[in-house]
Amino acid sequence: MSEIDILILSNGPGEITTWVRPVVKALRQQLGDDRTQIRISVILSPCPNASGKEAAIAQSYPEVDRVQAAAHFWQFLLTGKTAANWDWRKHGVVLFLGGDQFFPVVIGKRLGYRTVIYAEWDARWFRWIDRFGVMKPELIARIPTQYAYKFTVVGDLMAEASGGTRGEESGVREHKELIGLLPGSKPAKLTQGVPLGLAIAQHIHAQKPETKFVIPVAPTLDLETLASFANPQSNSIIEHLGGVTAELMTIEERPFLKTNTGLCVELETRSPAYDLLSQCSLCLTTVGANTAELGALAVPMIVLLPTQQLDAMRSWDGIPGILANLPLVGSSMAKAINWLALQRIGLLAWPNIWAKSEVVPELVGNLQPHVVAELALDYLNHPEKLAAMREQLRHIRGKSGAAQKLATIVSDMLNC
């Protein structure tokens, strides 16, 4: 095999951790670790849910050689030049793992590389893309028959999340009943998500004191910042969401939040903490990519979208997301967009969107901690309900092994 470049196009934090991470491992396993022969580059495109640390996360993967941040994407798309003026080898493949499926069409043509797209639910530009790896066969049924030969069912990339070490191997403490709190990773969600989650945990703990709680901390978030959202001096909305405050503490190098009533909520800083999430009986989560990850792990969840602070949610895609984040007028735009969205709101959690029905509960509005806690307790006191939700989640997603199959497609393209 001659010297090869593999260029991975991706965008948001979910794609970087759940798609790029397993795929680059699979590519190295199949194609080898000789960087003089196989070079893997990652170029990020803008994403409204991005934290700005996606490039650093991608660069931390030992299988990856070069990373360009999203800030330089448009220059690359329009001119073909990277910020660091990268060189490109004669032969290569552009692999799409997040963003707009039009990007690999343009970039593949400019570089003269073959193109491969991983598609979960929708495939586009199939006239100009060389190969597709899709999650489920239902997607292929919607493709004109003359292009069906380009498509291969590889399964669910997010299902790779359930692999790897288990709790006892990674040092995670085993609990009979563990509840995960996933308040988000950005200030817009954390402002409401942290105090609401702590208040709900407080109500559950009062009735089930043996229950333990954990927050898997996003890799883009430091502990001090997370704790600030539980501090009334820096988060005035706490009083409208149950009034539970907390301080950041550490015992034996294990960080946790200790509430004003003495409840300790562990903070897990490993990422991704899929082995830990797999141990959870139930998770209370905000909307977003985390619902997809929990769905892939078949972890029961209750999805929360509090509206006590209507301008807090600014993570919309496309034009609404741009308007909601404009300087000066962004707050007003966010309130207007969110009010309009709530009038027409449909399914929010990814498992529900995929199933086109409410597999996991979605609670939207002026959420009160004791009401959410009662719903959570009903599930915890009726394990058959949790088992039924878990089984439904397993049936929604595709099969595992997608990363290796996608790597095989890339290898085939390199040998064409």
Domain ranges of the chain: 4-163+400-414, 167-396
Same fold: 4-163+400-414 with 167-396? yes
The CATH fold assigned to 167-396 is Rossmann fold (3.40.50)
pLDDT of the chain, 416 residues: tens digit per residue: 579 999 999 998 778 888 999 999 999 999 999 999 999 999 999 987 777 889 999 999 999 999 999 999 999 999 999 999 999 999 999 999 999 999 999 999 999 999 999 998 889 999 999 999 998 888 898 899 999 999 999 988 877 655 543 333 334 444 479 999 999 888 888 999 999 999 999 999 999 999 999 999 988 789 999 999 999 999 999 999 999 999 999 998 899 999 999 999 999 998 778 889 999 999 999 988 789 889 988 999 999 988 765 544 544 444 445 444 556 545 565 555 555 555 545 688 889 988 889 999 999 888 999 999 999 999 999 999 999 999 999 888 767 789 999 999 999 999 87
Let me know if domain 4-163+400-414 sits in CATH 3.30.428.10: no
Q: Using CA atoms, how far apart are residues 23 and 144, in angstroms rounded to an integer?
A: 28
What is the distance between the alpha carbons of residues 175 and 309, in angstroms, rounded to a whole number?
A: 34
Residue 316 structure tokens: 């919309």
The DSSP annotation for 134-183 comes to: ESSHHHHTTS-GGGGGGEEE---GGGGGG-S--HHHHTPPP-SSEEEEE-
pLDDT of residue 218: 86
Edge-to-edge order in the sheet of strand 212-216: 246-251, 254-259, 264-268, 212-216, 178-182, 282-286, 301-306, 362-365
* CA angle centred on 389, ends 387 and 394, rounded to 5°: 95
Task: Give the per-residue pLDDT at 323.
Answer: 46
Res 345: pLDDT: 58
The answer to whether residues 121 and 101 touch, using CB atoms and an 8 Å cutoff, is no
- pLDDT at site 108: 97
Q: How far is CA 30 from the centre of its chain?
A: 26
In this structure, the strands spanning 254-259 and 264-268 are antiparallel
Residue 314's pLDDT is 47
In the chain, the N- to C-terminal Cα span, in Å, equals 11
pLDDT at 416: 76
Give me the helix-helix angle, 289-297 and 383-396, nearest 10°. 100
Residue 348: its pLDDT value, please? 83
| Whole-number Å distance between alpha carbons of 24 and 22 | 6
